[in-house]
Structure 1
Amino acid sequence: MTGAAGTVSHAAVFTLTVSGPGGGTGALVNGDFETGSLGPWTCESGGAVVSTPVHGGAHALAAAATASQTGECVQTLTLSPNTTYTLSGWVQGSYGYLGVRGDASASTWGSASGYAEQSVAFTTGSTGKVTVYLHGWYGQGTVYGDDVSVTS
C-alpha cells in the first residue's frame, strides 16, 4: 500500500487474515464466548455469557432453563451441503443438550456437575443450513456450555 500527499509518499506492506466468515454463516463464531458477549448467538430469556463456571478461558455460555422454557441458545450456520461434520463442546448441568437441526438433525445430552465433553456427528443435506443449539430441560436449572465447535 502506498500513500502520497504532495511530494511525500510512503509505502507499507500489511497482511490481512480473515478467520472464517461472520454473520452466522460458515464456521461457528464465538464458540468459546471469549468476546464476552452473546453475538452471534441468541438465547431465550436469561441466557448470558458468564465468567464462572468456565471450561477454558474467561467466559462461558449460560442457558437458563426454567419451568416454562429450556433456555435454548442458538446460532445458525450455512455449511457445505452433503458433508459430514462433528459438533462438540463442553457442557455442565442437568440434562444439557447440544445439537443441530435444520438441514441435519443430531443431538447428544448429559448430566454433569462439572464440565463434560459432548460430541455428535451429523451430515448436512442439500442446503447445508443448520442451527446449532445448547439447552437444558424444563425445571432442571441453568446449563453451561463452553468451547463449542463444528469441524469437518
Structure 2
Amino acid sequence: MSHNYVRGASLSSSVFQEEIRQMLAEFGASRLRIASEYRRAAVFFSLGGRTFRMLLSPLGQADSQAERAHDWIQPSSRPHESKSAQEAARQAWRQLSLLIRAKLDAVASGIVTFDEEFLAYMVLPGGGTVFQATAPAIAAAYDGAEDSGAQG
C-alpha cells in the first residue's frame, strides 16, 4: 500500500508560525508579530535597528464564493470549513518557514549578510518595503533597455 505523504502535511499552520517565531528569535529578532486578516498574512520583526515585513500571498486564486468567504491564511476551526482552505494555509506557512530557514542558514554560513538576504522585506520610513519602493524603477529600467535594444 502506498501513501501520498508529504513531510509536514499533517502539521497545522500554527506549528509553522511558531517555527518562524523561534527561528527569528534565535537569530536575534525582536518585536516579532504574525498578523492575518482576510486572505492575507504578514510576519513583522525588527533586527539591527530595522523593521522587516514578509507578506504571505495566496498559493492560488480562490474562485468560488465559498472559498472567498474563508481566511485561507488562518482558517477557522469550524467543522464545515473547506479542507482545501486548511491545506492551502498549511502549505503557505510551511513554504514561508522553509524560505526563512534557508535565508537564515545562508546568513549564518556567511554566504550573504542579513541585510542582503532580507533587503526586499526591509520597511522604509514611509511604511513601504524596499521591494515596493524599487520595483517600479527596476521594471522601467528593463523596459527602457528592451526598447533601446529593439531599435539598435
Give the alignment's TM-score, normalised by structure 1.
0.27
What TM-score results when the alignment is normalised by the length of structure 2? Answer: 0.27
Higher helix proportion (structure 1 or 2): 2
Q: Which has the higher contact order (CA 8 A, sep 6+)?
A: 1
Normalized per residue, which structure has more strand? 1
